[in-house]
Every structure is written in structure tokens, then in C-alpha cells.
């Protein structure tokens, strides 16, 4: 009797069980905990600050909310502003101008690079300052809001659109980037944090006191500056965590397996 030829082995696909998927997902999350924490927390902060800036813009466009405080606050300031105050605040606000602020950013970043023996502060500042300038120019071009009347402003006058405050936005970004880049070597970190916040806050308020910006312009500058700085810092932290082993270890979820079975 003739022998039948051997039949080829059949391939039967089997999918991973629910338990295997859960265990694999838990293993992946544990291996990438630091990466995920930075991604979630940093992303949430950036989203929140972006939403705040968007809400301020909507209120300005609708003439509602914080926009209603702009004129009353400026009128109150005009009631006590004096030549001495104007001179002192003008001297301070020049630090946030197109000459001194870039110089401060470059000197600070290069100094930190030499101190920490890494080019990270320079790269962070270049990205942060470049994005800050782009946000300022784009915001002014898109919104096109008029500044307070010249009769209420202190010279030198500025003719560019008012929203957002470029001095405020740039000062906020530079302060945050310098603080972040110096943080690993800083002593009395809380004191430096307060000084950075005071610098960015005072820069914004100086623009209102001098009648060169509305309060809502400054608030938008703070929100956008913090949001962009948070984006830059989060990106850098993700890069650092990615480079430091063993994070992140990209475990794959179990894939469908094949099992050979003999033919009948």
C-alpha cells in the first residue's frame, strides 16, 4: 500500500491572554515610571498655562473679565505716579529691553555652561529665548491690540502692538531657564526661586506702571512665558531621563504567538 506523504505542520495563531497584557503593561509602566511622570506632569502644566493664556485673550477680545480691570487700574496708578517713580521704574524696565535682556541671557547661559562644564544651559537658553521671541512677534501680529494712550504713558514710547507684553514674556522665560539650568548647583534654592519670580513679576508690573501695557497684556505675557518655559524644561527632562539607564526601557506588549501543531 502506498505511503501518504507527510503533511506540512499547521500554524495556529494564539493571542496573549488578558492577564499577560495586564502584566506586560504594568512592567512597561514600572520600567518607564520617571519618563511617564515627567511627560504627564509637564504636559499637564504646559496645557494649563496655554489654556490660561487663551482665556485671557478671549476675555480681551470680548471686552470682558480681566480686560475690565485694565482702565481702572491704570487710572489708579496715574493717581500716585510721580517723576521719581517714573525714573526708577523706567531704569528697571530697560533691563527687559531689546539690548540688556539678550545680553543678560547670553552672559547667564555662558556663565552657567562654564560653571557646570556642559553646553546644556546655552542650548536651553537658545531654544527658550528663540521661542519667546517668536511667541511675542506672532502674538502681537495676530492680536494687533492698541497700547494705552500716549497721554498716560511714560517715554520712550513704543509703537508695536500691545498684546502680549514682550518684556514680560521674555523676562519670564529667561528667569525660568536660568533658574532651571543653575538648580543642580544652587544653594538656598527657594531664595533663588523667589528672586526669579520677583524679577519676572516686577518686569511685568513696570510695564503697567509706565502706561506702556495694559494689565491683561502682562498677564498674558506671564502665562505664555511660563507655558513656553515649562515646555522647554519638560523636553529637556524627558531627554535626560531617556539617556539615563535603565529609563526608559521600552518593553513591548506581548504579540500574537504562533504554535506549530502536527497534521492529522
Tens of pLDDT, residues 106-130: 999 999 999 999 999 999 999 999 9
User: What confidence tier does 222 reach under pLDDT thresholds 50, 70, 90?
Assistant: very high
Per-residue exposure over 146-173, b if at least 16 CB sit within 10 Å of its own CB, e if not: ebbeeebbbeeebeebbbbbbbbbbbbb
Contact yes or no for 171/133 (Cβ under 8 A): no
Catalytic residues: 167, 213
86: cell is 517714573
Angle CA(230)–CA(105)–CA(182) in degrees, nearest 5?
60
Compute CA distances 131 → 124, 151, 166, 199, whole Å: 11, 33, 12, 20
Gap between the Cα atoms of 97 and 161, Å rounded: 15
User: What confidence tier does 194 reach under pLDDT thresholds 50, 70, 90?
Assistant: very high
Domain-wise residue ranges, the chain: 15-244
Which is higher by pLDDT, 34 or 157? 157
Query: pTM of the entire structure?
Result: 0.83
Gap between the Cα atoms of 130 and 105, Å rounded: 11
Nearest in space to 59 (alpha carbons), one of 136, 145, 135, 165? 145
Contact yes or no for 43/238 (Cβ under 8 A): no
Burial class (CB in 10 A: 0-12, 13-18, 19+), 17: exposed
pLDDT, residue 247, reads 40
Q: Is the pLDDT of residue 220 over 90?
A: yes
User: What confidence tier does 255 reach under pLDDT thresholds 50, 70, 90?
Assistant: very low
pLDDT, residue 230, reads 97
Gap between the Cα atoms of 68 and 254, Å rounded: 58
Q: Report the SS3 class of residue 97.
A: coil
Residues in the chain: 264
Backbone angles phi, psi at 128, to 5 degrees: -65, -50
Q: Is the pLDDT of residue 256 over 90?
A: no
Angle CA(170)–CA(173)–CA(178) in degrees, nearest 5?
120
pLDDT, residue 160, reads 93
Model confidence over 8-49: pLDDT tens digits? 544 554 566 777 677 766 666 666 788 888 999 999 999 999
pLDDT, residue 263, reads 42
Amino acid at each position: 500500500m502506498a505511503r501518504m506523504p507527510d503533511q506540512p505542520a499547521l500554524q495556529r495563531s494564539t493571542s496573549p491572554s488578558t492577564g499577560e497584557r495586564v502584566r506586560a503593561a504594568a512592567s512597561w509602566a514600572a520600567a518607564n515610571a520617571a519618563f511617564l511622570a515627567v511627560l504627564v506632569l509637564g504636559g499637564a502644566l504646559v496645557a494649563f498655562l496655554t489654556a490660561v493664556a487663551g482665556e485671557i485673550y478671549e476675555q480681551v477680545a470680548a471686552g470682558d473679565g480681566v480686560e475690565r480691570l485694565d482702565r481702572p487700574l491704570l487710572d489708579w496708578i496715574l493717581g500716585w505716579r510721580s517723576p521719581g517713580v517714573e525714573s526708577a521704574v523706567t531704569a528697571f524696565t530697560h533691563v527687559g529691553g531689546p539690548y540688556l535682556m539678550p545680553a543678560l541671557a547670553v552672559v547667564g547661559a555662558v556663565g552657567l555652561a562654564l560653571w557646570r562644564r556642559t553646553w546644556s544651559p546655552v542650548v536651553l537658553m537658545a531654544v527658550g529665548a528663540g521661542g519667546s521671541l517668536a511667541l511675542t512677534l506672532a502674538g502681537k501680529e495676530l492680536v494687533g491690540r492698541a497700547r494705552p494712550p500716549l497721554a498716560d504713558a511714560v517715554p520712550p514710547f513704543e509703537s508695536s502692538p500691545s498684546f502680549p507684553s514682550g518684556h514680560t514674556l521674555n523676562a519670564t522665560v529667561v528667569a525660568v531657564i536660568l533658574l532651571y539650568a543653575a538648580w543642580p548647583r544652587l544653594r538656598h534654592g527657594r531664595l533663588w526661586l523667589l528672586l526669579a519670580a520677583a524679577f519676572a513679576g516686577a518686569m511685568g508690573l513696570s510695564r503697567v506702571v509706565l502706561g506702556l501695557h495694559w494689565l491683561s497684556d502682562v498677564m498674558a505675557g506671564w502665562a505664555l512665558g511660563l507655558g513656553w518655559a515649562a515646555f522647554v524644561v519638560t523636553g529637556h527632562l524627558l531627554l535626560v531621563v531617556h539617556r539615563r539607564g535603565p529609563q526608559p526601557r521600552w518593553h513591548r506588549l506581548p504579540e500574537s504567538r504562533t504554535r506549530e501543531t502536527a497534521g492529522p
